[in-house]
Amino acid sequence: MKKNFTSPAGRAFLALVLVFIIGSIFNADGAFFKLGTHRDTLREMSVYGILACGMTMVIISGGIDLSVGSILALAAVCSAKMAIHWGYSGWLVLPACLIIGGLCGAVSGFLTARLQIQPFIATLAMMVLARGLSKYASGGMKVSTAIANPDGTYRYVNVPPFFQDIDHRILGGSFSVVTLIFIACVLLGWLLMSKHRVGRYLYAIGGNEESSRLSGVPVVGTKIFAYAMSGMFAAMAGICQAAQEQQGDPEAGVGYELIAIAMVVIGGTSLMGGRGGMGLTLLGVLTIGYLDKILSINAVPEAGRLVLTGIIIVIAVLTQRRRRT
Amino acid sequence: MNMKLIKILAYPSLVLAVIALTVGCRKSEDTQKANSPASSPPSQKQFVIGMSQCNLGEPWRVQMNADIAAAAAKHPELKVIFKDAQNDTLQQRAQVEEFAGSKVDLIIISPKEAQPLTEPVAEAMDAGIPVIVLDRRLLGGKYTCFIGANNEKIGKAAGEWIVKALGGKGNVVELMGLQTSTPGQDRHKGFLEGIAGSNIKVIFQADMQWLEPRARDEMESALARYDNINLVYAHNDDGAHGAYLAAKAAGRDKQMKFVGIDALPQEGIAYVKQGILDATFQYPTGGAEAIDTALKILHGQAVPKEIVLGTRLFDAQNVAQGGEDLK
């Protein structure tokens, strides 16, 4: 038992249990015990969680990806443009947006791995670039179901079935499709990191890049792959965001990269690279997601929420450090 | 702070695109001018107006520029040069100085901040160029005319409409704009004035920071906690739309009304037309009024020092007729 709580997963799990205990005490007149609250919480954390999946791969490789929020916005705008304005089917919109996100990520990866630009700078540049592209593609306006005619009036179209399917509930309304997509992303990330060769390469590169190069790991290709995956996850998150808003907002996702990084770190994945995993990230996502919900149902004012969230992050990171010594 | 940093960093990305666009537009504008001198009588004096917009990242400001362009297009003697300061105070200061240096006939400015832009505007006034200040105020009184809306009045109008719509009693969820911003504070204050004396109870309040996804999350919390909600008042239409989506997903959208503010044609007004919102209150851009005032100034007529814009109500009954003016 004791051994379980000293492992990284054990500690991350402990933090989640603690949050649940807090929720049970401050249950907002029983709102915390309703099934619907948990369904909503799982939906609300999903977009951040999908970003965190890609972020985990990049962080384990010893990098960081600041561009995910902007790529999310770009994918949101592009998917809304294609699905709402042009009426394309989901089978076309989904791969097209994933390719756009993947390409953005691959460019960051190329800048980092091949041209040796620090990940912080390379992805910062991509963050600015992708935000610009999303504003350019949308003309600075939200891409919504109100479409401007040339004479300045508007015509209205229905929300496309592709978006309705994503922002939908299954199992008698007890589970959101967005949450299902998030779980699929976690599974995909877990398979890549734990069962596939590329995962072993990423851990090796994050642990010691030079020695993995010397032992024949294809460092450049693997790193580009990690950033491209992060871009694709961000694009998936962007599609989910657009579907839930029923529009593509070029200003969406500002600051989301920091939430995603916090989720990864609270799970116990090391920012130094080489240590961590997708399961830990899932725990981190649940912890922050539930913390947010508990503060929300109790209608805690914004100032208090920020302070409490900050304190929790510090505590979580401090427990990690004790583990290392 | 980080958000701010990110925002600041995000704007330079627009520089290239905006430069390319403005250069492109300017060119076509110039050629148009060169081709059409015959259409306007040569005796009529041409006026050049410089317009400095603090940023074009907000749809509302894009709308303001569009309103100005549309109003100016009705007067062939006016030529408006648009500049976007990309949320950079110093850049906006440079733009004002540039306009003053190139001796435009009139400057319209929608300033980012009061303090640093007061001085350059005063200098332009000293150089004999009239200045119209739009939306946000400057310090002191060295400008020709201020045109702006009053968020507190709009909040009050919304509050009074809500009292009427609910018959004087009911449970209301308030989704507030960023409470460290003046519009957010004023729309809250005005609303409380509007519902004062009625039996309207605000049962749930949250700061959704003007963001639609946040509004949806907060509304889900309110729905989880309260079984009887009669109306949602959001400080912008995005927030009201997010709340509607949350209620719709819970199958409770028919049990309550949704009220927003801003009434942009492609957002709030569209939502009312689609039956998503029950009402939205316009936060006017003042673009058309600015051009009217500019014409008066340029023709030597007197204008008031301050013009406070009213609001327009758009609801299911009047949206087809283009809303209703509220005093």
Residues of chain B neighbouring A37 (CB-CB closer than 8 A):
220-221, 224
Query: Residues of B with CB below 8 A from A132's CB?
Result: 10, 13-14, 16-17
**CATH at A46:** 1.10.3470
Whether residue A280 is predicted with pLDDT greater than 90 in this model: the reply is: yes
- pLDDT digits 0-9 by tens, A90-138: 899 999 999 999 999 999 999 999 999 999 999 999 999 999 999 999 8
Chain B: give the shortest CA distance to residue A297, in Å.
5
Q: What is the pLDDT of residue A6?
A: 66
Q: For A153, name the nearest residue in chain B, comparing CA atoms only.
A: B265
The domains found in chain B, sorted by start residue, are: 2-34+46-143 (3.40.50.2300), 151-283+316-326 (3.40.50.2300)
Q: Give the pLDDT of residue B34.
A: 39
Instruction: Yes or no: say if B39 and B255 are a contact pair by the CB < 8 Å rule.
Output: no
Contacts of A45 in chain B (CB under 8 A): none
What pLDDT is recorded for position B322? 85
Q: Do A156 and B216 touch (CB under 8 A)?
A: no
Is the pLDDT at B16 greater than 50, yes or no?
A: no
Give the DSSP H or E segment for B324: strand B324-326
If one counts the domains in chain A, the total is 1
Res. A323 pLDDT band, cuts 50 70 90: low
Overall average pLDDT of the B51-80 stretch: 90
> Residue B170 — pLDDT band, cuts 50, 70, 90?
very high
Q: What is the pLDDT at residue B277?
A: 95
Residue B289 above 60 pLDDT?
yes
Query: Is the overall model pTM greater than 0.90, yes or no?
Result: no
**Out of A128, A135, A241, closest to residue B213 by CB:** A241
Counting beta carbons within 10 angstroms of the beta carbon of residue A245, is it exposed (0 to 12), middle (13 to 18) or buried (19 or more)?
Answer: buried
Are B235 and B268 spatial neighbours (Cβ–Cβ below 8 Å)?
no
Helix axes A197-207, A35-60, angle to 10 degrees: 70
Q: From the list A135, A148, A296, which residue is nearest B218 (CB)?
A: A296
Look-up: residue for tokens 């909600």? Answer: B229
Put simply, the answer to whether A254 touches B207 (Cβ < 8 Å) is no
Residue A121's pLDDT is 95
- Reference A143, options A243, A279, A287; nearest CA is A243
Percent of chain B with pLDDT over 90: 67
pLDDT bin (cut points 50, 70, 90) of residue B222 is: very high
- Residues of chain B contacting A261 with CB distance shorter than 8 Å: none
- pLDDT exceeds 90 at position B297: yes
Residue B45 per-residue DSSP state: P
Counting residues of chain A whose pLDDT is more than 70, the rounded percentage is: 96
Gap between the Cα atoms of B88 and B113, Å rounded: 10
Residue B86 pLDDT grade (very low, low, confident, very high; cuts 50, 70, 90): confident
Count CA atoms closer than 13 A to B53's CA, side-chain side.
25
Tell me the C-alpha distance between A239 and A76, whole Å. Answer: 5
CB contact at 8 A, B73 and B66? no
Tell me what the mean pLDDT of segment A47-70 comes to.
96
Question: So what's the pLDDT on residue A18?
Answer: 86
Q: Is the ipTM of this complex over 0.90?
A: no
**Of A263, A211, A219, residue with least CA distance to A237:** A263
Q: In whole angstroms, give the CA distance from residue B199 to residue B215.
A: 25
Which span out of A20-34, A217-231, A243-257 was modeled with the highest average pLDDT?
A: A217-231
So what's the pLDDT on residue B242?
Answer: 95
Convert the pLDDT of each residue in B172-189 to its tens digit.
999 999 888 888 999 999
Alpha-carbon span B137 to B92, nearest angstrom: 15
Domain that includes residue A35, residue range: 4-324
